[in-house]
Amino acid sequence: MRISLIGAGNLATRLGIALKAAGHDFVQVYSRTEASAQTLAKMLGAEAVVQADKLHSDASLYICALKDDALPEILKRVDVGNGILVHTAGSLSLDILKPFAAKTGVFYPLQTFSKEREVDFKTVPVFVESSDKIVSYILKQLAVDLGSEVYEITSEQRLKLHLSAIFACNFVNYLYSVSSDLLVENNLPFEVLKPLILETAAKVQTQPPADVQTGPAVRFDRKVMDRHLAQLEKHPAWKTLYKELSVGIYQRSKSTQK
């Protein structure tokens, strides 16, 4: 495929590199940030552009990996010709692309991406949605080229999938940062929690999370919980979170034991 990338952020970077390695050609890379466009274009052997209307209309596939709110504004200025236009967002419907192209699709790789961290796409499930069977075939083939598991789901399912990923990734990372802040306050290095964090993630690879839930909230052990809450006087928001998460754990555990 002759591909143009619209966006040069974390996802665009990792996906671009992986598709290039799988033998695809890149024509152009757009980013409004010149340095980002240049860096990624160079890696992909493509031309960098900083104005969306400088994208040629002869690519066969346009992959748009922009921030959700920037997407309509930028696409307005892009002529994709007869090409397929695809976005990579978890929470945007396929329909949002309708005004900009006849053949549209979604290619949503479910992973957290950083420009600097290598990702093995063989472990990344990809969720596709398409305006028609040809687009569907092409997007599934792209996923196969990457070695990814591929699933066909609707926009509504993808939104719910994205929501569960928010809980399992973004919210989890926030709890890591709370635990790190608590340690720093206490002159202990975050280092000491790292094995626990890895093992907690490793456990649910083989067992359902509700089955391996531990901690004082499972038994709603008030003595321990009160001792913890007393440590959070300076942090009312964390205190509230502590209470609500504990109630959630207790109720979930009761329903599992039933």
**Which residues within the stretch 197-236 sit at the binding site for a copy of itself (CB under 8 A)?**
197-205, 208-210, 212-217, 219, 221, 223-224, 227-228, 231-232
Q: Which of residues 135-154 bind a copy of itself (CB under 8 A)?
A: 149, 151, 153
CA distances from 19 to 53, 63, 143, 213 (A): 24, 11, 9, 39
- Residue number with CB closer to a copy of itself (21 or 184): 184
In the complex, least distance from residue 145 CB atom to a copy of itself, rounded to whole angstroms: 18
Distance CA(244)–CA(175), nearest Å, equals: 13
- Residue number with CB closer to a copy of itself (51 or 202): 202
- For a copy of itself, the binding residue among 112, 137, 141, 144 (CB under 8 A) is 112
Asked if 56 touches a copy of itself (CB under 8 A), the answer is no
From the list 129, 243, 114, the residue with the least C-alpha distance to 173 is: 114
CA angle 65, 112, 199 (to 5 degrees): 175
In the complex, least distance from residue 237 CB atom to a copy of itself, rounded to whole angstroms: 6
Asked if 171 touches a copy of itself (CB under 8 A), the answer is yes
- For a copy of itself, the binding residue among 34, 68, 73, 132 (CB under 8 A) is 68
In the complex, least distance from residue 59 CB atom to a copy of itself, rounded to whole angstroms: 28
Asked if 247 touches a copy of itself (CB under 8 A), the answer is yes
- For a copy of itself, the binding residue among 69, 133, 234, 258 (CB under 8 A) is 69
Binding residues for a copy of itself, rule CB under 8 A, total 91
Q: Is 103 helix (H, G, I), strand (E, B) or coil?
A: strand
Q: Which amino acid is located at 251 in the chain?
A: Q
From the list 121, 157, 6, the residue with the least C-alpha distance to 67 is: 6
Asked if 70 touches a copy of itself (CB under 8 A), the answer is no
DSSP string, 108-164: EE-S---SSS---GGG--EEEEESSHHHHHHHHHHHHHHT--EEE--HHHHHHHHHH
